[in-house]
Every structure is written in C-alpha cells, then in structure tokens.
Amino acid sequence: MPTDRCLLVSIAEQAMALILGEEIAEHFPISTSKNTPSCQAESFGTPTGLHCIGDKIGAGAPRGMVFKGRVPTGRLFSEVSPETARNNLITSRILRLRGLEPGKNSGPGCDSFARYIYIHGTNHESRIGQPFSGGCVEMTNLDVIRLFERVETGDLVWIGE
C-alpha cells in the first residue's frame, strides 16, 4: 500500500527526496556505494528497487554516536582512534531497509534486510555527494537526524539508478 511519506533515492544524482503527499518536502545530498548498484549479497553495491523502512534505530542518541551491530558504542566518532576513524562508521541514526521485491531485493542471495542495508550518518561527511559507501545510503549526521524524525517504519523507499 502507498504511504503518505516516501523517499526517492537517485544513485546517479547522489540525492534523495522526501515526498510528503504529492509534494517534495526536502532534498538531501547522499552517498551510495562506490561499487556498481547491486541487489546481490556480498556485492557491496547499493540495492535498487522498492524498499520500506524496516527499523528505526538510535532515537535520542547524540549526533555523531557510533553504532556497531545496530547498538550505540557510547563513543562519538570524534572520540575514536585515528585507525577506527579511517573506516566508514555508522553514526547518529539508522533506518534499516527491507526489500519489497521478492527475488530482486528480498529473499535468498539478495535480501536488503539480511545485508544490513541502511540509511545512516557517517564520519566522512566531506564525501557526501559522491559514491563512497559499502552499499548503504549515507547522509550527514544532521540530515539523518532530521529525516529520522520525519519518517516512520513502513514508509516506502524507492532506490533508482
């Protein structure tokens, strides 16, 4: 069923739009995978097609909180070691995506939820606007916090090339 809110992700434009009703409410710069878009497990490509927000994780966490295994570590990305900071960390909020197209982005070998595909904040905000992630849709920390407050579990997410 259609939802009152939806997100449209453009891999080509490295941008996402929040749609409320029939209006574009907001545009966000994003970063998708540095690899070719792909729904296949272990591809590290951003999966395409119709998804929904399966989980919202991190409500109330401070901006920059680092998550590991979807659990806050208790450290902000500004507090981690230089070695850890080189990695692309999951920060601030997580919107976990569930694929809605069986055989494409849902089911064995291609399941976005099982692949832990998220919309999340990053410690590498300077790379937003260019492909850089390992398959997720990354945003600035302020943007993902703001978006987190405006969407609900079950809202549709379309990811197009």
Give the pLDDT confidence of 17-40 residue by residue, as tens digits.
999 998 999 999 999 999 999 999
Residues spanned by the domain of 131 = 5-160
Which pair of structure tokens corresponds to residue 82?
A: 């230089």
What band does 93 get if pLDDT is binned at 50, 70 and 90?
A: very high
Q: Is 0.75 topped by the overall pTM?
A: yes
What band does 72 get if pLDDT is binned at 50, 70 and 90?
A: very high
- Note the pLDDT tens digit of each residue in 41-59: 999 999 999 999 999 999 9
Phi, psi angle pair for 83, to nearest 5°: -65, -45
3-state class (DSSP) for residue 148: helix
CATH code for the domain of 64: 2.40.440.10
* Concatenated DSSP letters of 68-106: ETTEEEEEEGGGS-HHHHTS--EEEEEEEEEE-SBTTTB
Specify the number of domains making up the chain.
1
pLDDT at 1: 56
